[in-house]
Chain A
């Protein structure tokens, strides 16, 4: 566990702080993610994929849950894909994970049309549903859905995430 913390501690805290904007809350989110991983480690042991990728996903979810709780909105754990993590997605992500440095991801995000970038950021870092984004930005719901999908499809290509050959 100390090895994992040494590997991802700064990344995890940086992500939690960006979502929550609060050091104490970010610490809680990171600690919750480590404990969740520990409690589920028997299940995780049987799964494929990198542990650091899983941990960062958990940190994001815990951070969004805390943010939504602060804003009296329903937790996102109920609406994120799969129970723990989508194994097909983890396998795809692991193929490119090492190339996705902070600089690289920021560069890819900057290549998106501004409205797609903003909409994705409101969903990922703001924890907003597409309906909430539509209301917040006074944008038609269909447009929000389209920006999220097209923006992510474009990012997928930029990230170099391969097509999965079979299920």
Chain B
């Protein structure tokens, strides 16, 4: 794909609306192309679309089932130092 062809597909790519073959061609092209920044911006925009759906109360036992499923998982092994562990970040967001 050339730049013009990739530019035509930046919106579709950001929304996951391309074929696997197109995805590979776009990512190969982005290695040396300024369209990487447009892709990042449009992907960030697509992330915001999640809020277009209403919040809904999940079944009361869903949280418990997720917690039980996680506790049945093997421990996650962290192989390098962490500046700010993931669950501390959760608490920071929640507070």
Interface residues of A in 61-79 (CB under 8 A from B): 61, 64, 74, 76, 78-79
Closest 9 CB pairs of A and B: A149-B11, A148-B11, A89-B43, A88-B40, A18-B53, A13-B58, A92-B44, A93-B44, A10-B55
Question: What chain A residues lie within 8 Å of B54 (beta carbons)?
Answer: 14, 18, 102
What residue of chain B has the Cβ atom nearest to residue A127's Cβ? B16
Size category of the A interface is 35 or more
Q: Which residues of B contact A (CB under 8 A)?
A: 7-20, 22-23, 36-37, 39-59, 62-63, 65-67, 69-70, 73, 76-80, 82, 84-87, 89-91, 93-94
> Is the pair A129, B50 in contact by a Cβ cutoff of 8 Å?
no
> Is the pair B94, A129 in contact by a Cβ cutoff of 8 Å?
no
Q: How far is the CA of A3 from the CA of B66 in the complex (A)?
A: 12
CB of B91 to closest CB in A, whole Å? 5
Secondary structure at the B interface, as helix, strand, loop or mixed, is helix
Q: How far is the CA of A38 from the CA of B59 in the complex (A)?
A: 21
Secondary structure at the A interface, as helix, strand, loop or mixed, is helix
> Is the pair A79, B66 in contact by a Cβ cutoff of 8 Å?
no
What residue of chain A has the Cβ atom nearest to residue B85's Cβ? A45
Interface residues of A in 1-55 (CB under 8 A from B): 1-7, 9-15, 17-19, 23, 26-27, 30-31, 34-35, 38-39, 41-42, 44-46, 50-53
Question: What chain A residues lie within 8 Å of B36 (beta carbons)?
Answer: 88, 167
> Is the pair B78, A42 in contact by a Cβ cutoff of 8 Å?
yes
CB-contact partner of B45 in A9, A128, A159, under 8 A: A159
Question: What chain A residues lie within 8 Å of B78 (beta carbons)?
Answer: 41-42, 45
Question: What chain B residues lie within 8 Å of A120 (beta carbons)?
Answer: 15, 49
Q: Given A1-B70, A129-B19, check contact A153 B86 (CB 8 Å).
A: no
CB-contact partner of B89 in A1, A50, A159, under 8 A: A50
